[in-house]
Amino acid sequence: MAARIPAEERLTNLVVALMSTEIGLTKQQILDNVSGYRQRADAGTRSDALEKMFERDKEELRALGVPIETLGDAADPNDLREARYRIPQAEYDLPGDIEFSPAELAVLRLAGSVWSAESVSGDAQSGVRKIRALGIDGDEPIIGFAPRITARDAAFAPLQDAIERCRVVTFDYLKPGEDAPRRRTVRPLALVDYEARWHVFGVDVDADGDRTFLLSRIVGDVRVTAKSFDATLRDGAGERALAGLERVASANSALLEVTPGTEAALRLGRRATAAAQGITVPFVDLHILADELASYGPEVRVVEPAPLREAVIARLEAVVRAHTDEGETR
């Protein structure tokens, strides 16, 4: 049975593949290597059916404004038997004189928060690797074509449903330092992505005030109740949530020394400002940042604040103990 790869994911993978090379890909290379076509081929789908699917996908992308070029034989441009297809990245460059208003930039920022280098799916990355294995040079890693939302927390879907239906939700929430989660009853108003993590913003019914919850700290299932709330509460909620998170981040910053040219330098540098002793990174949650910094190992050293440095050290020591204990039990 053919793997069920959604059409939108197949189109996404096709875009990634066609942007991964300057010289283009033949139809057969696409059918053999791009996720969505490859699974169907492996399941026995006939080649003519796959070719028709590719043609439909190609026309759909063009209808969406994606500039897919068809490159024929240099000696005979009209001979398309071995045609190659590509998406020239230059077609996506904005004119040098284009300007955006503050409101337009805010919208672009919200959209950009969902799309990033980390968002490229494993299948898309695998397809690019396969294409490069054919001896076709690729450009720098493709970014911005698979929303990070595909790797969202389990709580995302029921919360999104509750927001759309204006329904109150309940969930168990575990805060750092607490031994057990606490039940929360919330009118969910917006889901926002900040610092590459999803948050739900809403009214905490018991506290009778606005609160922002990190989805990764929701324990167990989100229960959508039958109790509704006024839809006008959602107006401007996303902007208020982001503004609140930015206020918290502006009041908290970490001074870090980072090894140049490392993954840590690449990822942290995107949201950092240069400092005399390294870089300064704003943050909302000390524990979340400590988890991230610990994952970089020796690539990062925390200069200040001291609580963050201690939290990172504690995590690294826990890793050492875990590996030591594992080695002793073998």
Q: How many domains does the chain have?
A: 3
Q: Do 257 and 244 belong to one domain?
A: no
Q: Do 48 and 13 belong to one domain?
A: yes
Report if residue 284 sits inside a domain.
Answer: yes
The predicted model gives 216-220 an average pLDDT of 91
Task: Give the model confidence (pLDDT) of 276-293 as tens digits.
Answer: 889 999 998 898 899 889
So what's the pLDDT on residue 170? 97
At 195, the pLDDT band (50, 70, 90 cuts) reads confident
Report if residue 1 sits inside a domain.
Answer: no
Q: Do 11 and 110 belong to one domain?
A: yes
Pick the last residue of a domain from 101, 127, 147: 147
- From the list 282, 316, 285, the residue with the least C-alpha distance to 299 is 316
Pick the last residue of a domain from 233, 249, 265: 249
Q: Do 71 and 121 belong to one domain?
A: yes
Q: In what helix (H) or strand (E) does residue 125 lie, and over which residues does it extend?
A: helix 122-133
Q: In 211-244, which positions are buried (b, 16+ CB within 10 angstroms) versus exposed (e)?
A: bbbbbebbeeebebeeeebeeeebeebeebbbeb
Report if residue 314 sits inside a domain.
Answer: yes
The CA distances from residue 224 to 26, 62, 173, 228, 278, in Å, are: 49, 40, 15, 10, 46
Cα–Cα dist 236/181, whole Å: 29
- Within 10 angstroms of residue 4's Cβ, the number of other Cβ atoms is 7
pLDDT at 189 over 90: yes
Residue span of the structural domain in which 280 resides: 252-329
At 3, the pLDDT band (50, 70, 90 cuts) reads very low
Give percent of the chain with pLDDT exceeding 70. 74
Q: Do 266 and 302 belong to one domain?
A: yes
Pick the last residue of a domain from 104, 128, 147: 147
The predicted model gives 203-209 an average pLDDT of 91
Cα–Cα dist 330/326, whole Å: 7
Report if residue 171 sits inside a domain.
Answer: yes
Least confident of 97-101, 245-249, 308-312: 97-101
Report if residue 270 sits inside a domain.
Answer: yes
Q: Do 156 and 239 belong to one domain?
A: yes
User: Which DSSP category does 138 fall into?
Assistant: B
Are the C-beta atoms of 51 and 27 separated by less than 8 Å?
Answer: yes
Task: Give the model confidence (pLDDT) of 267-278 as tens digits.
Answer: 888 788 999 889
pLDDT at 99 over 80: no
pLDDT at 127 over 80: no
Task: Give the model confidence (pLDDT) of 14-62 as tens digits.
Answer: 888 888 777 888 888 888 888 788 888 877 888 888 888 898 888 888 8
The predicted model gives 104-122 an average pLDDT of 51
Q: Do 139 and 158 belong to one domain?
A: no
pTM: 0.51
Q: Do 140 and 209 belong to one domain?
A: no
Task: Give the model confidence (pLDDT) of 155-172 as tens digits.
Answer: 888 998 899 899 999 999
First CA to last CA distance, the chain: 42
Q: Do 13 and 122 belong to one domain?
A: yes
Helix 286-295 vs helix 306-329: crossing angle, to nearest 10: 50
Q: Do 156 and 243 belong to one domain?
A: yes
* Domain harbouring 231, CATH code: 2.30.30
pLDDT at 201 over 80: yes
Report if residue 2 sits inside a domain.
Answer: no
